[in-house]
Each structure stands twice: as structure tokens, then as C-alpha cells.
Structure 1
Amino acid sequence: MAWLVTGGAGYIGSHVVRAFIDEGIDVIIIDDLSSGHADFVPDGVPFVQGSLLDTELLRRTFTEAAGAITGVVHVAGFKYAGVSVQRPLHTYEQNVTATQNLLAAMAEADVSNIVFSSSAAVYGTPSTDLVTEETAKNPESPYGESKLIGEWLLRDQGVAAGLTHTSLRYFNVVGSGDIALRDTSPHNLFPLIFDALVDGRTPRINGTDYATPDGTCVRDYIHVSDLAVSHVAAARRMDAGEPISPVYNLGSGDGVSVGEIMSTVAAVTGIDFTPEIAPRRAGDPDRIVASGELAARDLRWVMRHSLEDMVKSAWDARQAAVVRPL
């Protein structure tokens, strides 16, 4: 039996694929390569190139697997919250319509297990410093809204058709578990810092007047490999027929500041720099950190990597890309 990983050629998805392989579980990948990379697909892993908007392709993928697919890890999606404000229709199409198509194809193929890659963006700006699964959901972008709608679709399909599902919410995913895999997003903090350093520019901090110890924003940063392990743990729980919560936060419980990240990057890379200070961005809260207690209980969730580990693994992958570009 195999698990289908949507978006399995992307940064997060490719780590999820490798986590399944490491535990001896077969996988099939579907990815349209809009942000993923064919080079991230391991040798010997079945790869279907195409979009979840292509209903015939989805139907064919399940049919050709001939009943071998036992569940789906749904990582594919348009993940840029800021850009989603300018492209709401595109965001809903990629994240809502695509999820609807996937669920329909699963129902037709009698596949009833799904692990959904959701987002802490569903919370918006919470009123509490420590976010739990019960914290009010107030998404502030089409991206966050689309992820919450995705969770609703799973919930409703669970009621209607007995779908077994869970949604994993997380904040900032960083690091690398394989030197050949890296975050290539043009919007995420680590790639922005590393690209600046590689290009000889000075990384930038947006605001140093927040109500935090060093004046910079505090957020959850979690290592991508730790995240991947919990996706597999959720899949194993479903395969075993064990009870699973509909939602889990994959959070650090304490968080780190942007200032701490900059200092760690300088120490790890050996590149001495003083970040440029730009004005704070509107709507950025001082501190958002999630509790991971529920996931620690059920999904083998633990922060196995220090901030130094996260920075070093990501920097090593970025340096390798300079020598061997995608």
C-alpha cells in the first residue's frame, strides 16, 4: 500500500516523501512543478506531473494505482499569504477548488484517509501569546481563509462520507534534511536572508520596536524534517485505525526572534553583518507562538533541532545550490 503525496516535489512535500521512504512506506507523488522541482523527486518514486485542477488526471492517478493508495498527504497549494491579497481568485482556485477535486477523486476511489497541510494563518492575529488548537480562527488573508475552508471541506466530508482526516497547522518551516533539498520560496525569511548574503547585500529586519526582549518579532520556527515525521505519524495512526484529532498545531512552545535568527545566521555562516532596519510591516503582531502538546502526545512531535541546526542545514543546502543550481 502507498500514500499519495500532493506537492511532493516541493520543499515541504519532498521532505514528507523522504520521511515515508525512511519508514518503509511506499509513496506516489503528484505535483505540477509550479513551485516544486523535478530534481526533488527521489529515483524510483512514481511521479505524476500535473495539477489537482485536472480532474481527469486525478481520476486516472487513483485508477492506475489499482487500489494501492491507502491515503493522501495533501501538501500542494499556493502558500504566499501576502501575494494572496493581490491574487485572491488564484489562491482560492489552487487551495479550495483543488482540494475539492482531490476529495471527490478520493471518494470515487474509496480512499478515506487524508493528512492536510494547513497553516497557522487560520488564526490571523491571535489575542493570546500561546496559540492552541482552540484559539479563535480569524484569518486575515485569502491564503489563511483558503486553508480554513480546506479544513471545513475535510470536516464536512468526514460527516458525509466517513473521511478520516487531520489538519496540521504550523507557522514557519525552515532548515533542510537533505543537502539536495532547500526552500526556494521568494517570500520566506531564510531564503531572503541567504539570497542577500550570496548576492553581497545586507539582510533586512522589518521593525525593531516590538514588545519583545530584543524588539523584533517572535515566531515559531520548526525544522522541516521534524514536521515531516509528524505527517508520517499521522498516516500511521490512520492506517492502524487509531483515533486522531481533526487538528494539531506543530509549534515550538517558545519561539525565537528575527534578531536571534540574524545573529545565528552570522555565527553559522561566518559572514559578519549588521542587518538593515526597515519600518515594521502593518499588522505584524509582537509574538505568535503555538503549543505543540497535543501533537507531541499523538504524532511524535518534538523539536529535535536547535536554531543553530536549522540555520546550518538550510545554509548548507543553499551553498550546495550555488555549486549545483536547480
Structure 2
Amino acid sequence: MSESIQSTYGVAQDDGLLATKDLKKYFPVKGGILNRKVGDVKAVDGVSLAIEEGKTLGLVGESGCGKSTLGKTIMRLHDPTDGNIYFDGEDISDAGKSRMRKIRRNMQIIFQDPASSLNPRMSVAELIQEPMKTLTDWSKEERRDRTLELISEVGLQEGHLQRAPHEFSGGQQQRVAIARALSVNPKLIVADEPTSALDVSVQAKILNLLSDLQDTYDLTFLFISHDLSVIKHICDDVAVMYLGKLAEVASTEEIFDDPKHPYTKALMSAVPDASAESMTDRILLEGDVPSPENPPSGCRFHTRCQEYIGEICETDEPQFTEPSAGRYCSCHHYSGST
């Protein structure tokens, strides 16, 4: 596991290119005649992680676990409710609009649905050049040269630049979105399920493109996905998220070869495998994911856990411990409490 991930749980929070410390994002719930606040949706509830420069951290979990909200909060598209976000050694948790404008040149995002993330009234050239106009002082010629360079690198042609997004397939639209994200030479890219809206035949091409671009530009990725085969293909480390909190953090190899947390084990068992033994070992989680507005006490996974060990799971929240060197798990099986 990378040194920066380890630092999140014992050393400095600002090691690596990106780190968060006890990051929270709550959304108010209003009700009643006066539409007053009656509660919070705890979408992200105390997440600490870090990514080493040039590496890819995969963030996985079921739909609704908070992983996309975490990515958008890191990008400051959502203001954090509490906690800290460190980017390149600087705490940007409460940075103002002027400061964030400068920071965003170094951190960009690729959204899940390229069709909805691209302005239909703009040409491809205008879409790619928009961040350059907003975030740099490059000349018109410099912006044009950068656009021509990028359109080639993402596998499109110069003749595509004057077309509108609706004239392209989903895979081509995502290539345009990738070119736009790269246009200002960022250090970090948050990729929020960038292949989930694409046909299976196109997904591998986009993943290979992202991998090639990472090597070319020494990019750092936070790669959000529910598709474990994608995570295994592209990520160096994996953080498993459940109901707003991290369950386990380890290298990709360790997560897939020897998952520790019961929730991680259930996710791994759901990875398609044609063998009869794999079908026998499938772990089926009972019940629905609890509401983030009213999460269970203690360990949030205890209501569905196949390794429930008693009252401690319901009353005490497990802390991150290190069951083996360089990996971390939030489970009472490894906390020394049992």
C-alpha cells in the first residue's frame, strides 16, 4: 500500500497530493408547516483518506453509500460540513471562490454521464477551451494548439472540433469530457463513474485511454466506481465505503486476494465468476441499505453483517485498526475489543 494512505491513519494529513481528515458532508432535511430543519442526510460522515501523487485510489461501494458526494466535496462542488481537505499540502476546506478558481486549475472532474455534462450549445472546440479561458492566461494561439494536441491524444480528429456533443456516440462524448478535464494540465482528476454510462465494448477503450494519459501527464486519480472489475484494472489502492464511512483501505491486490471487512468480503463475492465453487461461496446481504438520515448505531454495517459478534457491534463504533501491515479495517473483529 502507498505510504500516503498509511499516513492518513497515523502521521501527517497533508502527505501526498490529496488527503482528507474526518471529512463530513450533511444535507439538511426539512419538514413541517414551517419547513424547518428536522434532520440531516449524513452522506459523508468522517472520511479520512490520502492519495500519493501519480497513483490511483479506487472508491467503491453500493449506490447511495456517499462515494460521489465525497468526490464532489473534495472538488469543493459541495462545501464540507466539517473536517479538512488537503490538496498539495494546503488546507482548502474553507477556501473562497477566488482561491478555488486558482486551485481548480490543478484539480478537475470527469462526470458519469458525458451527455449531460457537456453544454449542447457549444462546439467541441469551445468545450475544451472553456477551462483554458477561465483558469489560465494563455493566448488564443496557445489555447488552439493545446486543443489540437488534446483532440488527437483522446483519439478524435481535428474535424470533430466544430461538431456539437449530440453528434457523437457516448464513448466519443466521454473522450471530449476527458480532453476538457485535461485542458489546463491538472494534477488531480476525480473520475466519477466515467464508464458506467457506456457500452461494455467501449468501457475498456476509455479505461485504457485514462491509463495512457496518466502515464503521459503523471496524473493522480480518485476513481469512483461500483464496478469492481474496473477498479481492479486501473487502481493502485482501494477504499471501500459503506453508508458514509470507510470500511476498509488497502492495496488493490490485498483487497481482491484477502478482504478483511465483512462488507468487503460480500462485495468481492459478488464479482462474476463462472466457477461452481464461486457460486457456492457467494455472500448474499440481507435487507436494504439503511437510510443515511438515520444510520444504525455502533457499526453501521451490523444490521446486514454475516459476521455479527454481539452487542458491541450495535453500541460501539469500530475504529480503524491495522490487521496486517499497511492495510486498515473498521471492524470489531480487528479492534481488540473482542
TM-score > 0.5 by shorter chain: no
- The answer to which structure has the higher helix fraction is 1
Q: TM-score, normalised by structure 2?
A: 0.29
Larger radius of gyration, structure 1 or 2? 2
TM-score with structure 1 length normalisation? 0.30
